[in-house]
Structure 1
Amino acid sequence: MDHAVVIGASMSGLLAAAALHRLFGRVTVLDRDTLPTVDAHRRGVAQSRHAHGLLAKGREVIDELLPGLSAELVAQGAIRGDLQRDARHIHGGHRLARGDSGLSGLLASRPLLEGQIRRRVSALPGVRVLADRIATGLLAQDGRVTGVRPADGEPIPADLVVDAGGRGSRTPFWLGELGYEPPREERVVIDVRYGTREFRRRPGDLDGDLVVIIAPTPEHPRGGVALALEDERWIVTMAGYGEGPGLALTEFADYAATLPVLDLHHLIRNAEPVGEPRSYRNPAGVRRCYERLSRFPEGLLVIGDAVCAFNPLYGQGMTVAALEAKVLLEAELRPQAFFRRIAKIVDAPWDITVGGDLKMPGVEGDPTPRMRMVNAYLERFHAAAAHDPELVLRFLRVTNLYDPPPSLMSPAALLKVLRGGAPRAVPVPA
């Protein structure tokens, strides 16, 4: 195979190119943005100014696709830490027990992470990353996509086109142009509103911890995260369902005081702010079910947020994109086989986010009986995990996409939860 074209120099697009360069003689990545020459925010990634989580599994997979990347990031200031020992996890209003998880996290700003990945991918043999190039349509013949039509310039022929164009993917529309049905969409309207500020990081902040994660609860549908970053900074992002924090420093601190615990309030009330505050709004989680289509043109794949855009509060998007990119190396590149493979990757994080979102006030939709059972069980699980590090490790292995969610209900875990959780009746799964 000679030439693959990737639409979008997003994280998913760059990681797809990192995989495809092992299979194709040439890989061309097209992006509509003017790409920065230094590590900087860019227009097409509006969320880059907010906290980003690279899960431990995602870091491992990215190091497989781009060997040595983690070490390069650390050399530029990224911070390693154990995801249980060096982090404060507050879920269901409970402060989870500490311990050594063996799960190695990597803390870096989105511009540093994306910038280093873009540099590495751009340097791969046969790979070109082209800025200011907008794809306006697909070339096709005899049921096969054969290239891309850019807004300016000559058509670009390709043996494979991968759409990594994010939430704004045009593939559903292009399928209609080619005589195919678009995929069915699952949509959960969440209306999550963010506010983010950065602060100077000082010795002794948070007693040396590197991460604070405060998950919202139905009683307090607000949450927040603080991540240590390069250049001795904290990035603090807080969000609520239907409303978010004010960006003025006093309003931001006051909002932190309404979270289920006061860790973020204590951190920022005397901290020195750095840079300008930013807001962001995420209206909905969206999944496009390509795996359910009976007809789809050969030579076209879709990946990343163009397939499933999660509620970003859960920090799963980059890791799912990395896992999907790895599938490009592991499976045949026929669309239906590829979409079935990545559906299995998407299923668990999608169920986690949707189940969590539907229990929040104001989120449209009714949780299924199974979701209600899981949510009730998780309340007991988090209560028990407040004093059981082994349960916390099980939870982190699920949220970091190592283990499937049912592992939280193994006989050993179930016994611990029912003995040590909050005194509330929970339906036990059959």
Structure 2
Amino acid sequence: MTGRVGERAVVLGGSMAGLLAARVLAGAYREVLVVERDAISGRTTARKGVGQGRHVHGLLARGQQILDELFPGFTREAVAAGIPTGDLGELRWFFNGRRLSPGTTGLTCVSATRPVLESRVRERVAALAGVRLLERHDIVGLVADDAREAVTGVRVQSLEPGAGERAIPADLVVDATGRASRTPLWLEELGYERPEEERIRIDLSYTTRRFRLRDEAVLNGDLSINPVSSPSHRRGAFLSRIEDGLVVVSLTGVLGDSAPADLDGFLRWARTLPVPDIHDAVHDAEPVDDGAVFRYPASRRRRYERLSRFPGRLLVLGDAACSFNPVYGQGMTVAALEALVLREHLSRGEVDPKAFLADIARVIEVPWQFSAGSDLGYPEVEGERTVEWEASGAYMAALQAAAVVDGEVTAAFMRVAGLVDTPDALMTPEMVRRVENGSRRAREPLAA
């Protein structure tokens, strides 16, 4: 990037999306101010502003690559700090109750808890020249020019007793406040339309506990165990090695099903999973915390790119633009991809919000179709099921069956799910042949 774009950029929200936005803004603005309601400096434990903070998080392979690009040596430092890593295709994956054959992808999975991963990113961002964290401040609203054609700042209020509201001028404001973003309301107050919203209601629940294993041999060297929920096997789970020699287990229920948080109920529920691996790993492990439950009612995509009018000097990204079903682990990686889009726009000079929003819509499209399309596999989930969706679903079912017997199919699928390769990689003549042969082989034991 050459030259400065402006004097001050204000980022609303200090989670991953906001931090990654601040990282790329730091090269274009003299000052980057990150406004956050929570106290975040030095924190490596879950906080109120990140509802899913205690639960298993996925940083997809493309997200890991971007973190290494934006923060050189990030993965190397994480490994040196004791954070477990492994190959994405060599984890213990189960789809439809059957284990996928491991396949080497060459893609690194960083198995850190969300608070620890976020803290490492935050430390790197806070060390950048011109970046400042404004913690324990509510975001009250936007400030606009007299014509309401451009945003000129934000109004904030400290959480300290007796503090008053104040305005902070800005040349650019970036909303990274997550799925609770108030930008639709702020647009309406400024005389603009709210964006259209697409929702896929899945009524997901996560119930999570951390354990210290009595014998790590039960994992057989695996970084994680993942019986993924599906319409045929609705209860799922994720077990991951994390820092400090612990494992974290999140039990997932859909459409209102939810695992109990108490230890006995947690273990009983784990026994109902389609495979015994999770229960076998933790049934005699030492619990190190109480259970926590997180509920996620619906995926939500705000179609800002379809608005005919949008104020200047205001951007929206991360979950504020699109909040994905977290079981697919897409949120942090999509935010990282959007940060690269922001960097590209900044390299051209002042950012045009409508052009930026159109570009991140293209980034969002593939992961949205992946997660929304998968959720529509549950008959109770409302949404349009096209002929194309039916064909795609049938092919993915065959692909997942083939992956049970063919590690090359597993590797290709994980590279696409990790947002490294495009879906076209699953439709090459060689892959179609593997899927046809593999799915037929996978059926043979059932027919015997």
Amino acid of the residue matched to residue 114 of structure 2?
R
Given candidates 196, 220, 238, the residue that maps to 2:208 is: 196
The residue aligned with 2:115 is: 111
- Which of 415, 419, 424 is the equivalent residue of 2:437? 419
Q: Indicate if the aligned counterparts of 1:92 and 1:379 stay in contact, CA closer than 8 A.
A: no
Distance 1:107 1:352 in 2: 23
1:55 corresponds to which of 53, 57, 60? 60
- Alignment map for 1:122-201 (pairs within 5 Å): 122-141=126-145, 142=147, 143-151=149-157, 152-201=164-213
Tell whether the 8 Å contact from 1:359 to 1:367 is kept in structure 2 after alignment: no
In 2, are the aligned partners of 1:51 and 1:237 still within 8 Å (CA)? yes
- Residue 11 (structure 1) aligned with residue 16 (structure 2): yes
Partner residue of 2:281 out of 260, 264, 267:
267
SS at match of 2:120: helix
Describe how 1:17-416 pairs up with structure 2 within 5 A.
Answer: 17-85=22-90, 87-141=91-145, 142=147, 143-151=149-157, 152-201=164-213, 202-241=215-254, 242-331=256-345, 332=348, 333-416=351-434
Number of residue pairs matched by the alignment? 424
Residue identity (%)? 47
Deviation, 1:357, is: 0.7
Aligned counterparts of 2:76 and 2:199: Cα–Cα separation in 1 = 38
Following the alignment from structure 1 to structure 2, what is the Cα–Cα distance between the partners of residues 292 and 358?
A: 24
Per-residue Cα deviation, 1:16-58 (whole angstroms, up to 9, x for no partner):
0011001111100001112253312111012100001111110
What is the TM-score with the length of structure 2 in the denominator? 0.91
- Check whether the contact 1:216–1:260 (CA below 8 A) recurs between aligned residues: no
| Aligned-residue offset at 1:88 | 0.7
SS of equivalent residue, structure 1 residue 275: coil
Give yes or no for contact 1:222–1:240 (8 Å, CA) kept in 2. yes
TM-score normalised according to structure 1 size: 0.95
- Tell me the CA shift for residue 93 of structure 1: 2.8
Counterpart AA for 2:48: R
Tell me which residue corresponds to 1:428: none
Report Cα offsets for 1:353-397 as digits up to 9, x if no partner: 111111124322342222221111111111111111111111011
Amino acid corresponding to residue 149 of structure 1 in structure 2: R
Contact 1:289 1:307 in 2 (8 A): yes
Residues of 2 paired with 1:278 and 1:199: CA distance? 13
Aligned counterparts of 1:266 and 1:346: Cα–Cα separation in 2: 38
Please report how far the alpha carbon of residue 422 of structure 1 lies from its aligned counterpart in structure 2 after TM superposition.
4.6
Residue 117 of structure 1 aligns to which amino acid in structure 2?
V
**For residues 293 and 171 of structure 1, what CA distance do their matches in structure 2 show?**
13
CA offset at residue 164 of structure 1? Answer: 0.2
Given that 2:402 and 2:442 are in contact with CA atoms closer than 8 Å, whether structure 1 keeps it comes out as: no
Classify the secondary structure of the residue corresponding to 1:167.
coil
Q: Distance in 1 between matches of 2:104 and 2:374?
A: 26
Q: CA deviation at 1:406?
A: 3.1
* 1:301-348 deviation per Cα after TM superposition (whole angstroms, max 9, x unaligned): 001000000000111101111111111111252111111111111111
Q: Which runs of 4+ in 1 moved over 3 A?
A: 422-425
- Where does the alignment leave 5 or more consecutive residues of structure 2 unmatched? 1-5, 158-163, 444-448
